[in-house]
């Protein structure tokens, strides 16, 4: 990444959330990451750093923190899947929250994305075919599986959506004085209870077929549930990839090229 242009950092938890963007910016592994969780690319002349944080607040903090030490990025985008907490949030809808909040047993932290950066992002996203939701997003320490827990969390925190990394990413961005924004896609609605196959899905995601195949052979019904979840994740991923490659990355590149926009994005000067 060129020293005179710090570019943008885009963080996502798992491979499926970031692979399409990585291909679009023709990213390559960065030598500065011995764990092979970071890639550098370019979009219309604007440097892009992609970081795979893994799932959950603890791993997100551990993996992302080293990349923020001494690097004045133009901005950080937290992206990936999220669960809906209100019925209005449907599979494939886009979430650009006006606030992210971690909830117990995590320390309760509430942060707001950089308003100018968020407005620029929303302007781009609203040119697309998606339904966009902008209410509060909460960060939990576990996957919220049941529809009952989703609906209870939505009511308690007056939140639209839930995930496991964005508040940590926002904290790190605030500490580094870098503007941040959250752009995620709904994978599961408030009324949808995730099937009891999360471990099976992890094995599939990590290509651990030595564990996956024997387990499915003993529990064949889980193959059907896995296929249903994969279809959902494919639809969510397609929406996310289209969003970034057809709309959002162009907006980030324009912000990077426009000197007049530096002061509009969190006061960041380069």
The pLDDT tens digits for 226-238 are 788 889 999 999 9
Write out pLDDT tens, residues 132-167. 999 999 999 999 989 999 999 999 999 999 999 999
pLDDT at 267: 35
pLDDT at 189 over 60: yes
- Burial classification of residue 153, based on how many CB atoms lie within 10 Å of its CB (0-12 exposed, 13-18 middle, 19 or more buried): buried
Please provide the CATH number assigned to the domain covering 8-260. Answer: 3.40.50.1580
- Residue 225 and residue 176: Cα distance in Å, rounded? 42
Rounded Cα gap, residues 263 and 164, in angstroms: 31
Residue 263: pLDDT band (50, 70, 90) is very low
Helix axes 198-205, 209-218, angle to 10 degrees: 140
Torsion sign (Cα): 143, 248, 123, 113: positive
- Residue 112 confidence (pLDDT) above 90: yes
**Distance, CA of 51 to CA of 76 (rounded, Å):** 10
- pLDDT of 197 reads 63
52: which strand partners?
12
Q: Is the pTM of this model over 0.95?
A: no
Task: Specify the residue for token string 């990349």.
Answer: 67
* pLDDT over 50 (residue 89): yes
How many other β-carbons are positioned within 10 Å of the β-carbon of residue 264?
Answer: 17
Long-range interactions of 110-114: CB distance < 8 A, separation 24+: 111/167, 111/170, 111/171, 111/174, 113/170, 113/179, 113/180, 113/181, 113/182, 114/75, 114/179, 114/180, 114/181, 114/265, 114/266
């Amino acid at each position: 990444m060129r020293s005179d242009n710090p570019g943008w950092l885009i963080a996502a938890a798992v491979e499926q959330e970031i692979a399409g963007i990585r291909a679009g910016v023709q990213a390559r592994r960065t030598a500065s990451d011995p764990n092979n969780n970071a890639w550098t690319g370019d979009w219309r002349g604007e440097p892009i750093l992609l970081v795979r944080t893994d799932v959950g607040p603890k791993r997100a903090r551990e993996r992302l923190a080293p990349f923020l030490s001494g690097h004045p990025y133009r901005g950080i985008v937290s992206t990936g899947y999220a669960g809906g907490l209100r019925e209005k949030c449907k599979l494939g809808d886009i979430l650009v929250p006006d606030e992210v909040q971690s909830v117990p047993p995590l320390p309760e932290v509430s942060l707001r994305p950089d308003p100018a950066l968020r407005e620029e992002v929303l302007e781009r996203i609203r040119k697309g075919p998606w339904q966009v939701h902008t209410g509060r997003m909460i960060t939990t320490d576990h996957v919220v599986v049941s529809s009952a827990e989703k609906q209870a969390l939505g009511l308690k925190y007056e939140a639209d959506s839930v995930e496991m990394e964005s508040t940590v990413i926002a904290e790190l961005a605030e500490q580094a004085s870098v503007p941040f924004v959250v752009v995620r896609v709904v994978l599961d609605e408030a009324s949808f209870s995730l099937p009891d196959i999360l471990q099976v899905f992890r094995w599939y995601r990590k290509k651990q077929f030595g564990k996956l195949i024997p387990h499915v052979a003993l529990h064949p019904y889980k193959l059907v549930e896995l296929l249903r979840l994969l279809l959902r994740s494919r639809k969510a991923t397609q929406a996310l990839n289209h969003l970034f490659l057809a709309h959002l990355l162009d907006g980030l590149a324009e912000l990077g090229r426009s000197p007049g926009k530096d002061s509009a994005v969190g006061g960041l000067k380069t």
